[in-house]
Amino acid sequence: MVQATPLLLVLFLALGAQGLAVKKCSLTGRWVNDLGSNMTITTVNANGAFAGSYHTAVSATSNEIKLSPLQGAVQKSPNQKGQPTFGFTVNWSFSDSITVFTGQCFVDEYGKEVLKTMWLLRS
């Protein structure tokens, strides 16, 4: 029994180490929310600034919905869990309004990246 203990300990440490590796969240890519709106963030530069586009699926205006530009920033060094906070502004191309979003990026238990945001729209 004494001889098996080191092997079991090494096996446990090897298996346990996999659980310690936390997938870090990346904002770049295409994101779709539960209402069908989508945004694309192309790159995040070394200073944390990013740009992209937003296409909303919902609007209170009768105007045709158009792709709108967004600009934002992500904190330079994400927290230890790799869950960066960020903010961005969408200047709507089809209305006289602007929306600011703030949020955080998380990785769920299945490894899927999820953005949780709040927003404020002003006309």
68 in a structural domain: yes
pLDDT at 21: 55
pLDDT digits (tens, 9 = 90+) for 82-108: 789 999 999 999 999 999 999 999 988
- Total number of domains in the chain: 1
According to the model, what pLDDT value does residue 61 have? Answer: 77
Q: Has residue 3 been placed in a domain?
A: no
Q: In this predicted structure, what is the pLDDT of residue 5?
A: 44
**Mean pLDDT of all residues belonging to the chain:** 83
CATH of the domain at 46: 2.40.128.30
With CA atoms as reference, report the closest residue to 104 among 118, 112, 116, 113: 116
Q: What digits encode the pLDDT tens for the residues 35-65?
A: 999 999 998 999 999 999 999 998 887 888 8
